[in-house]
Amino acid sequence: QFVLIQPPSASGTPGQRVTISCSGSSSNIGSNYVYWYQQVPGTAPKVLMSRNDQRPSGVPDRFSGSKSGTSASLAISGLRSEDETDYFCAAWDDSLGGVVFGGGTKLIVL
């Protein structure tokens, strides 16, 4: 249903490094920037990563983003309990002429 493909869940223990993947196609990730959003249930999405790997002001450097071809990844190092929430990737899609999102990944901190 969602154009960008994310794993439904990911997990790690405190202090670990986890990565969340986002797979797309040539019309979206392959030709446009990737964005990551963090969403605490019941609140609006918060921009976590902009233009593939740019952290907005206030986002800790534990978070990093990367892109290669038609896939992207969000890495979280030094995992903390407050990181346990939902993460979405997004990109502009040239064929659609609009934004496409991933289905979201629920991060669980064990």
Partner 1 sequence: EVQLVQSGAEVKKSGESLRISCKGSGYSFSRHWILWVRQKPGKGLEWMGRIDPSDSYSDYSPSFEGHVTISADTSISTAYLQWPSLDISDTAMYYCARLDSGWNFGNYYYDMDVWGQGTKVTVSS
**Pattern 26-65, binding to partner 1, x per CB under 8 A?**
------xx-x-x-----xxxxx--xx----x---------
Beta carbon of residue 43, minimum distance to partner 1 (angstroms, whole number)? 8
SS3 45: coil
The distance between the two most distant Cα atoms of the chain, rounded to a whole number of Å, is: 41
Q: Exposed, middle or buried: residue 105 (CB in 10 Å: 0-12, 13-18, 19+)?
A: buried
Q: How far is the CB of 74 from partner 1 (least distance, A)?
A: 15
Task: Give residues in contact with partner 1 (CB under 8 A).
Answer: 2, 32-33, 35, 37, 43-47, 50-51, 56, 88, 90, 92, 96-104
